[in-house]
Amino acid sequence: MKLLSSKASCNTHGQDSSYFLGWEEYEKNPYDEALNTKGIIQMGLAENQLSFDILESWLAKNQDVAGFKRDGKSIFRELALFQDYHGLPSFKKALVDFMAEIRGNKVTFDPNHIVLTAGSTSANETLMFCLAEQGDAFLLPTPYYPGFDRDLKWRTGVEIVPIQCTSANNFQITESALQQAREEAKKRNLRVKGVLVTNPSNPLGTTMSRNELNLLIDFIKVNKDMHLISDEIYSGTVFSSASFISVMEILKERNYLKDSYSDAAQVWNRVHVVYSLSKDLGLPGFRVGAIYSNNDEVIAAATKMSSFGLVSSQTQYLLSAMLGDKKFTKYYLSENLKRLKRRQRMLISGLQKAGISCLKSNAGLFCWVDMRHLLSSNTFEAEMELWKKIVYQVKLNISPGSSCHCSEPGWFRVCFANMTEETLNLAMTRLTTFVADINVANESKMSSRRTRSLPSWVFRLSSRNHREQEER
């Protein structure tokens, strides 16, 4: 008798990816600056731990809110008993205002068009259930977040078809790559229901250009049964030069208004945004995500589905007060970006000392690191060989590009915001030593090859000269 259902026992969860296997190895031997200095340093986890002191300072100054009180009186019973899957109006208002603030208030969001979910994982899966049938497909540009293989596919049965992006243009989406992905879907007899992108990108740490966003809007404008999902979970982590452009800003620029009946304006109803407080506020444990859509039918369906992954009323009450404090949010966003930028520079500097470069980036909690020159061959087998050495010998858990479906071997995602400066410096010291050892070994091999390639008369001449010197 079979104990588990086919869904529970199937192998499409993605847990056997090197992305998750690295976590498992870390958990067996985690680095601790006092208790386990030889352990594995976790650089595969995109957590923002740089600004907890700001959050804790706010909590200390707002103890009534933290203690679930209103006007000095406990509302614990009210929050403990109340749970409406539409969410607390005060929190939804505070959340959409925060989203607008991150985007420089260039766009606004209607709280009636937001659906609260238990993190962005739940938000993305809910959209799959709402927009696609089992066996339909979404196109995703590579490299992409390894968890999407689980979030989008596992329970929904939706397929992912990669849009193959390359380092030749810094992994930007091109029209030809987009069309090739659609043709690939046709060959697999898959109906394409849309495109999903992360902006800023995980794992690249880059923001999408205005040209890329317009290309995607044009794509779904022509293909009238397709949707565009923009996962903007890292929108508050853009810390240098190029500014973040939300897909909602592009819709506004193109005057795609909800009240218009033109074909172009119907695109408005097929663009959806996913957001979360996991990265910008560093609160993944609070499980706060959201779907924003201009489509009333999608909002109604997603709201019903959200009952399977609600955000607690206590969490909503606390965060509605925190995000409603405009003095706090202004300071937090500014200071958090300064800290992220400084930490990213530390990682880049450490990598450069080791002779390693990165893709130029301006956002996120990680860098897309180029280790192609350290591969023994230009293959994914060589990439896995290098990754295992870094995990087991160097004791750093980083994510290989193949786990992100990168089409080129030798790229790795390295996180920098989930550890102390001291731990990051130690990680860079370990990596520098490792690369130096590889260079010495390679030089030794090259020297040996050069020696073996010399003609035999060189060795005979050398031997004769040696004998003549002895005779003298």
Which residues are known catalytic residues?
Answer: 145, 231, 233, 279
Give exposure, 344-364, as e/b (b: 16+ Cβ within 10 Å).
beebbebbeebebebbebbbb
Closest to 18 (Cα-Cα) out of 364, 398, 358, 379: 398
Tell me whether residue 315 is exposed, middle or buried, using C-beta atoms within 10 angstroms of its C-beta: 0 to 12, 13 to 18, 19 or more.
Answer: buried
Question: Do residues 400 and 359 lie in contact, with contact meaning Cβ atoms separated by under 8 Å?
Answer: no
Collapsed DSSP state (helix, strand, coil) of residue 30: strand
Distance CA 343, CA 146 (A): 24
Question: Do residues 128 and 140 lie in contact, with contact meaning Cβ atoms separated by under 8 Å?
Answer: no
Task: Name the phi and psi angles at 160, rounded to 5.
Answer: -110, 130
Closest to 197 (Cα-Cα) out of 278, 280, 141: 141
Closest to 121 (Cα-Cα) out of 162, 150, 159: 150
Distance CA 360, CA 225 (A): 35
What is the 8-class DSSP label of residue 366? E
Q: Which neighbouring-strand residues pair with 368? A: 413
Tell me whether residue 54 is exposed, middle or buried, using C-beta atoms within 10 angstroms of its C-beta: 0 to 12, 13 to 18, 19 or more.
Answer: middle
Distance CA 233, CA 449 (A): 51
Question: Do residues 14 and 152 lie in contact, with contact meaning Cβ atoms separated by under 8 Å?
Answer: no
Provide the terminal-to-terminal Cα distance of the chain, rounded to the nearest Å.
90
Tokens of 284: 């993944």
Question: Do residues 153 and 121 lie in contact, with contact meaning Cβ atoms separated by under 8 Å?
Answer: no
Question: Do residues 340 and 424 lie in contact, with contact meaning Cβ atoms separated by under 8 Å?
Answer: no
* Residue whose token pair is 């959050």: 55
Tell me whether residue 292 is exposed, middle or buried, using C-beta atoms within 10 angstroms of its C-beta: 0 to 12, 13 to 18, 19 or more.
Answer: buried
Alpha-helix runs per DSSP H in 282-353: 296-305, 313-324, 326-353
